[in-house]
Amino acid sequence: MLLKNLRHRARLHWNLLNLLWRFDVIAEPAVTVKYWRSIRIGRHCTLQTAAYLYGSRSGCELVLGDHVVVSNACMLLAEGGIAISSFTHLGPQVVITTQYGDSSGEMCTENPVRKLAPVRIGAGCWIGSGAVIMPGTVLGDRCIVSPNAVVFGSWGDDTALAGNPARRLRGAA
């Protein structure tokens, strides 16, 4: 069991080294990367401490544009594909997920049925700390998501969202 864990840890370090070798990115301590071959990162991006980037085994990509900041303890689960455009900032502990379980099928199995829906986030968005971006969400450019909001659906440019489920803030453009 110890050897298995050591191999896994070495593989995670290898994944991060491959990402750092291929892209113009700053990675702070404890960044974890899985399935690095499906991850593309633009220029001058930052992955802060304890960020977790989970690429895809199914051929989808996790794509970060230029000058994207992934803050402390963010989790990007991109099995269904995530595209984050340039100049977007993810606050601490943001979760972006692209998969969900199919509760109409057998749930007590080694291979439960799961569904995938890609997430798209526009340019210049600010995602507040603790926000959760659910599968299939589309945010336009310059959107602001308040801390701890849970975002579903499609939202246009210049939208400010808050709450669970997230709703457009009154007085926002």
Q: Is 60 exceeded by the pLDDT of residue 114?
A: yes
Sequence-ordered list of residues with C-beta below 8 angstroms from that of 150, at least 6 positions apart, any chain: 131, 132, 134, 163, 164, 165, 166
Model pLDDT, residue 112: 82
> Is the model's pLDDT at 173 over the cut of 60?
no
Average the pLDDT over 144-152 and give the result. Answer: 98
Average pLDDT over residues 108-121: 90
Tell me the residue type at 131.
Answer: A
Q: Where are the domains of the chain?
A: 2-168
Peptide bond before residue 147 is cis, with ω within 30 degrees of 0: no
Q: CATH for 2-168, among 2.160.10.10, 3.40.50.1980, 3.30.70.20, 3.50.50.60?
A: 2.160.10.10
3-state helix/strand/coil string of the chain? CHHHHHHHHHHHHHHHHHHHHHCCEEECCCCEEECHHHEEECCCEEECCCCEEECCCCCCCEEECCCCEECCCCEEECCCCEEECCCCEECCCCEEECEEECCCCCCCCCCCCEEECCEEECCCCEECCCCEECCCCEECCCCEECCCCEECCEECCCCEEECCCCEECCCCC
What backbone torsions phi and psi does residue 63 show, to the nearest 5 degrees?
-120, 125
Residue 101: per-residue pLDDT: 83
β-strands 52-54, 160-162: how paired?
unpaired
Predicted confidence band at 95 (pLDDT cuts at 50, 70, 90)? very high
